[in-house]
Each structure stands twice: as C-alpha cells, then as structure tokens.
Amino acid sequence: MSRSKKIRLLEFLVIGVFMGVLEDLIAVLVATDSELNFRIVWIVLLVAVPFAFVSEIVVDHPRFWEHVFPRKNKRREEGGG
C-alpha cells in the first residue's frame, strides 16, 4: 500500500472516529439526563472506535463488495462460455 493511501485511510479513520464520537455524544446527551463528563466520553469513544474502523477500513476498501458478493462464473461474464 502506498504512503498516500495510508495517509488517506488514516485521515478517514480519524474523521470517522471524531464524527462517531460527536454523533454519539449528542445522542447520549439528548436522550438521557446525564452530564457530560470523562466517563461518558470514554464510553462513547469505546463504542465509536470499532464502528469507525469497520466503516472506514473494511467497508470503504476498494474491493470490499467483491469479497462480500463474489462473482460465481467469471468465464460466462467475460464471454468465454
């Protein structure tokens, strides 16, 4: 993997974690009557990181859908019979 691709993935992961944490914090504060403190931020961070990893690294992989839905007969699609 080239350096530019690694940097791009890292940028998406950081943005994904930041947006995930922000989104979850808003949801927790709106849905509950809890105060914003380090414990809430820590729990939200623990929840957001795995989802950011999955969404940015796995799902955004260029060939992800080829692995999820592999083509059954490539020869027929290529016109080989």
69 vs 40: CA distance, rounded Å = 38
15-58: per-residue pLDDT in tens?
A: 878 888 899 999 999 999 888 999 999 999 998 888 877 777 67
The 3-state DSSP class for residue 13 equals helix
CB atoms within 10 A of CB 51: 14
Task: Report whether pLDDT(76) > 80.
Answer: no
Alpha helices in the chain (DSSP H): 3-31, 38-53, 64-68, 74-77
